[in-house]
Amino acid sequence: MPVSQLLQVRDLQVEFRTRDGIAKAVNGVTYGVDAGETLAVLGESGSGKSVTAQAIMGILDTPPGFVTGGEILFQGQDLLKMGREERRKVRGRKLAMIFQDALSSLNPVLSVGYQLGEMFVVHEGMSRKDAKAKAVELMDRVRIPAAKERVGDYPHQFSGGMRQRIMIAMALALDPELIIADEPTTALDVTVQAQVMDLLAELQRESGMGLILITHDLGVVADVADKIAVMYAGRIVETAPVNELYKAPAHPYTRGLLDSIPRLDQKGQELYAIKGLPPNLTRIPPGCPFNPRCPRAQSVCLTDLPPLYDVTDESGAPLPGRGSACHFWKEQLHG
């Protein structure tokens, strides 16, 4: 994988020390994103996709969570080696995050305009009046109708979709270089989901920032991502440009996920289902973590952990950006 300039996560390891043992939430994740690029991180709950994002943002709950290895290079600097104060500055100005639940991320007793303006007052030392004008400007930018009249409204006076727009506005406030959106549309209705995703994509095009989109929804990803990293049990099991991943997945897990989406031609039949359950992170099976659920598993999968192989086409020419952590990626991809 080529090294990305904006953000490069290398061999990141995160564990949670709990009563039931050490849960290995992230086990050597490597991914990168460039300016103007959208990386979608796809995975189920417990795959480590959100924990990785929390580690990048520096908002991991410690304890119980600990980063035990790897590096997170942001514009060439390792965030993990920075001091607390330095890191806080990067987090405020250059990195921003959008959460799933907009209602609990906004303070219910302060007006939306005040909360948006706060960013400018704190980080740029603006006066309250200027900050309010900025807040209106931001609300316009995320297409909230009648921004001028609504700037004094409180979070509960907005609908779910509008609240998520306000969260986006807040993330955009200081023109960050990278936004991490953790399931930004999961709590929204379908008709609103599409609007919010479109808005995010549009704003990204305008500002040229990098975007990491964390989701479990294969549909959302298909619409906006440039490239995809699929995570399972704290590891990246497949990376690919978006079109290629859907057309020809090179990992049995990705294939299984794609196959379990209900399709028209399957009406009245059983859905394809990946058997079994995601592993308990305190006891990840030896070898390939997917082996107990994998229809392709052979004895080597029970003992040897597959690295993220570079994926090539049938003639052996490299496929840029593609990788698969499966011993049998060739069989999976080329049959």
Interface residue with other proteins among 3, 122, 261, 300 (CB under 8 A) is: 261
Q: Is residue 195 at the binding interface for other proteins, with CB under 8 A as the rule?
A: yes
- Rounded to whole angstroms, the maximal C-alpha distance in the chain is 68
Q: Is residue 194 at the binding interface for other proteins, with CB under 8 A as the rule?
A: yes
Partnered with residue 21 across adjacent β-strands are 18
Q: Is residue 219 at the binding interface for other proteins, with CB under 8 A as the rule?
A: yes
What residues between 34 and 53 interact with other proteins by CB under 8 A? 44-45
User: Which tokens in the block code for residue 224?
Assistant: 């906006």
Q: Is residue 262 at the binding interface for other proteins, with CB under 8 A as the rule?
A: yes
Rank residues 85 and 270 by Cβ distance to other proteins and give the closer one.
270
Q: How far is the CB of 104 from other proteins (least distance, A)?
A: 16
The contact mask relative to other proteins for 130-169 (x = CB under 8 A, - = no) is -----------------------------xxxx-------
What residues between 277 and 316 interact with other proteins by CB under 8 A? 277-278, 280, 282-283, 285, 292-293, 295-296
Q: Is residue 77 at the binding interface for other proteins, with CB under 8 A as the rule?
A: no
Interface residue with other proteins among 101, 118, 153, 259 (CB under 8 A) is: 259
How many CB atoms within 10 Å of residue 101? 15
Q: Which H, E and C letters describe 20-48, residue by residue? A: CEEEEEEEEEEEEECCCCEEEEECCCCCC
Q: Is residue 221 at the binding interface for other proteins, with CB under 8 A as the rule?
A: yes
- Mark the segment that binds other proteins (CB under 8 A) among 7-15, 91-99, 189-197, 309-317: 189-197
Rank residues 191 and 315 by Cβ distance to other proteins and give the closer one.
191
Rank residues 2 and 335 by Cβ distance to other proteins and give the closer one.
335
- Mark the segment that binds other proteins (CB under 8 A) among 9-17, 19-27, 71-79, 103-111: 19-27
Q: Is residue 103 at the binding interface for other proteins, with CB under 8 A as the rule?
A: no
d(CA 239, CA 245): 8
CB 306, CB 294: distance < 8 Å? no
Question: For 269, which DSSP code?
Answer: S
d(CA 127, CA 121): 6
Rank residues 90 and 188 by Cβ distance to other proteins and give the closer one.
188
CB 67, CB 11: distance < 8 Å? no
d(CA 287, CA 302): 5
User: Which tokens in the block code for residue 78?
Assistant: 């390792």
Rank residues 96 and 188 by Cβ distance to other proteins and give the closer one.
188
List strands edge to edge, sheet with 318-324.
Answer: 95-98, 178-182, 210-215, 38-42, 227-232, 235-241, 318-324, 309-312
* Cis amide leading into 63 (omega within 30): yes
Q: Is residue 266 at the binding interface for other proteins, with CB under 8 A as the rule?
A: yes
Q: Which residues of 45-63 are buried (b: 16+ CB within 10 A; e: fewer)?
A: ebbbbbbbbbbbbbebeee
Q: How far is the CB of 222 from other proteins (least distance, A)?
A: 4
Q: Which helix (H) or strand (E) holds 132?
A: helix 128-141
Q: How far is the CB of 312 from other proteins (least distance, A)?
A: 19
Rank residues 84 and 267 by Cβ distance to other proteins and give the closer one.
267
Q: Which helix (H) or strand (E) holds 7?
A: strand 7-18
Q: Count residues contacting other proteins (CB under 8 A)?
A: 63
Q: Is residue 61 at the binding interface for other proteins, with CB under 8 A as the rule?
A: no
The site for other proteins (CB under 8 A) is made up of 19-21, 44-45, 159-162, 189-191, 193-195, 197, 216-223, 225, 242-243, 246, 252, 255-267, 269-278, 280, 282-283, 285, 292-293, 295-296, 331-332, 335
